[in-house]
Structures are given as C-alpha cells and as structure tokens.
Amino acid sequence: MNAYLWAKLQQELPDYWKTIPNLGVPIIPAQQQPEATESGLNYITYTYSDHASRDMYVYQSQDIDWILFSRTTAPITSTIALCRDLFGRWDDSAVEVNEWMRTHTFPAGAKAFYERYNFKSITVTGTTSAQPATDEGGTRDGLVSVNYQFVEGYLDS
C-alpha cells in the first residue's frame, strides 16, 4: 500500500512530496518521525493493524493509518482527496492496485514479495482534515484511514 501511494504521489502531486535526504521515501513508520521532522520536508507516518480472519482464514484484513505532515494545508488537503480517489472504490481500487503491482518495476529481488498479495477490496474508512500546528512554525497534520482485504500467496521455496 505504501509503495503504491508513493508512486501515485510522485505522479499526481510531485511538487508536494519529495524524497528526504538520508531517509528516502517520505512514507515512514511512526518511529522514524524525528528524522523526518528535522528535514523540514512534507512526510507521512503510518501504522497498521490486522483483523482476525474469522471463518475464511485465507482472507485477511488490515487497516492502515497515514498521518500527513506539512507546514501548509495544501499538501494535506490534496493528498486526502487523492487517497479518496485511489482507495475509496472498494473492488475497483483493489483491481487497480493489483494491476499496478503486476506491471510496476520493483527493485531487484522485491517483485516476488509484492506478487504475494492479491487485494480483494480497498476503501477509505475515514479522513481528518489538516489540523493547526501546535506551535508557531510547526507542522500541521491530517489523517487518512484505509481498510483493505487481501489474500496472501506463498513464495516458492
């Protein structure tokens, strides 16, 4: 999900989202937030959670929360709108992510990792618009929450 989001941000909103020196892609685990904050660039932190699969054990469900950080509201507002377009269409969103994974050029050795996932449904479950900075000159933040269901294959040994 993060790789797809990054590809779409580069394609649709390149003026807002740049790689961070010494860190790379600005979509990072929440634990790396201090390094990203020091860069002064826009960045996104993420956390995810798994749901019990219930009676269909191969059918998995996860939530991902992206917190968008920027000194201005425009990158946050634009990214929320883009995420609604990309991830708000249930089965159609899943088809597009699967097609992107099938045709995208991944780094050497990584394609097999991504090919393990077959998304069945993706939807935005909530967003929060840009919040005011807590201190003068600080960053604003917004939230995008997405739920996705998928089947995970297994790599050949």
CATH for 24? 3.30.2000
Strand partners, 150: 60, 119
In a domain, 42, yes or no: yes
pLDDT 10s digits, 70-115: 999 999 999 999 999 999 999 999 999 999 999 999 988 888 888 8
Domain encompassing residue 134 = 2-151
**In terms of C-beta density within 10 A (0-12 exposed, 13-18 middle, 19 or more buried), how is residue 100 classed?**
middle
Instruction: Compute the average pLDDT of residues 12-37.
Output: 94
In a domain, 23, yes or no: yes
pLDDT 10s digits, 31-57: 889 889 889 999 999 999 999 877 777
In a domain, 156, yes or no: no
Q: How many structural domains does the chain have?
A: 1
Count of Cβ atoms closer than 10 Å to residue 17 Cβ: 25
Q: Which helix (H) or strand (E) holds 125?
A: strand 117-131
In a domain, 124, yes or no: yes
CA neighbor of 144 nearest in space, from 71, 82, 90, 61? 82
Cβ proximity of 87 and 9 under 8 Å? no
136 pLDDT band, cuts 50/70/90, is confident
